[in-house]
Amino acid sequence: MKPLILKKMTPFAVVVLGIVGAFATTSMQSAKADIAPVIGYVSIPGDPCSVEVECSDSGDDTCRLFYPSGPEAKALDPDSETTCAQQLYRP
């Protein structure tokens, strides 16, 4: 009797686990998309936009290399690879 129940329930259990896994994966992907970081750059003398800092494009506090003080990180200008001008914020 037990082998018969096991044979009939195994496909059902596999389908249920597949559905649960699909929903869990989808919810994890949407959570990652909400907090995607923006790379900011700090200019040092002689080498503009050279030090990378993880920042965000929205928020209240300015993104800096060393928080709460330190050089300010800015986003790379798409027209020029040596200019960092766009304001960024702490993630």
Q: Are residues 12 and 25 in the same domain?
A: yes
Q: What is the pLDDT of residues 35-57, one digit of tens each?
A: 568 888 888 877 777 888 888 88
d(CA 60, CA 6): 57
Q: Quote the mean pLDDT of the chain.
A: 78
d(CA 87, CA 91): 13
Q: Are residues 61 and 51 in the same domain?
A: yes
Q: Are residues 30 and 55 in the same domain?
A: no
Burial 75-90 (b: 16+ CB within 10 A, else e): bbeeeeeeebeeebbb
Q: Are residues 42 and 3 in the same domain?
A: no
Q: What is the pLDDT of residues 77-91, one digit of tens each?
A: 777 767 788 888 887
Q: What pTM, to 2 d.p., does this model score?
A: 0.54
d(CA 76, CA 40): 7
Q: Are residues 56 and 26 in the same domain?
A: no
- Collect all residues with Cβ–Cβ distance below 8 Å to 50 and sequence separation of at least 6: 41, 42, 43, 44
d(CA 44, CA 82): 11
* Domain housing 20: 1-36
Q: Are residues 67 and 81 in the same domain?
A: yes
Q: Are residues 42 and 28 in the same domain?
A: no
Total domains in the chain come to 2
